[in-house]
Structure 1
Amino acid sequence: MNTKLIAVLAASAAATALFVTGCSDDASTTSPTSTPGSAAPAPAAGKSTASVDGKEVAAKFDTTCAKQAGTLALALTDTANATYGSLSVSATVEGDTVQAVAIGGSQGGANGLPYAVGYGQGAPGGSAKLAKDGNTYRITGEGISADMTNPLAGPSTVKFDVTFACATIVGA
């Protein structure tokens, strides 16, 4: 997968966040519900969290969830994150299938560059699984990331574990 696709996935995260920003719920994260790669237990209701490569992303997330024509758009945003700047974590789900996951920050990558991890169904180099409990959705899997300071190094695989705790789902 090339760095263009990673950039597209990061842009998709921002677009998803903007699509649903008008109707968000505030939910803070304090700890991950489990580590990536473990069996997917039911998500913890009430807490939106994200972890990458087993490390919790420390953030105060606004959680936004919207459904339109069978597509569920999920977004976590923290516009003043100390590590990642404007941070967006998003996913698109159709039925029980995860279509895309994007984690992007305006900073936090190598040498202060933007940070991005992405997964797209059908694209090589990734996976995603969905577990749901009411209006809480947990997505675990692997996405692709790249060191933008050394594009010749190629992409790397990164594990993610994201819980979207939706107080309400707009359009549901």
Structure 2
Amino acid sequence: MAAICVFCASSNAIDRQWLDLAAQLGKALGPRGHTLVSGGGRVGMMGAVADGARAGGAHTLGVIPQSLVDLEVADTQADELIVTTDMGARKNLMIDRSDAFITLPGGLGTLDELFEVWTTATLDLHRKPIILLDPAGFYEGMWGWLAGLADTEFIRRPALAQVTTVSSIEAALDAVERGTRH
């Protein structure tokens, strides 16, 4: 049983396939005994993963900065909703309250969160599994670019091994449960 932080897009202008992926991941958490930790929003993939988690019987913890509460996008249905002063405090609390991280497709905010947990893992500040759930090749270009950075030693090869890339929800949850970091 793990508290799994899911990073994903919060935009409403998302293709249905990504909303469905988020909802399916959320729904898969409950039967496996996991808790969802999310960015505390009710829109886009973030809202879909939270709704899916509740539909699957998972406990949901949302962490949201006051500025987004003020925009009325907070997931007020969350079992626990924590309001922070800013985005930095939000990320720190999400990292602290999570046992593992799964990243779905997303934009700048999602990448920021992924790189934050990945960087802190490379500095050995935590040993929590980091999973990139990429069923449709969304991150292939980024991953190729990062591998090229390892070829030039801007990134150490062991850092690449700290992220497990999978193509299915089941594989993502299996990786979390195994506690793998490769």
Regarding TM over 0.5, the answer is no
Q: Which of the pair is proportionally richer in helix?
A: 2
Structure of greater relative contact order (alpha carbons < 8 Å, 6+ residues apart): 1
Q: TM-score, normalised by structure 1?
A: 0.26
Q: TM-score, normalised by structure 2?
A: 0.25
Larger radius of gyration: 2
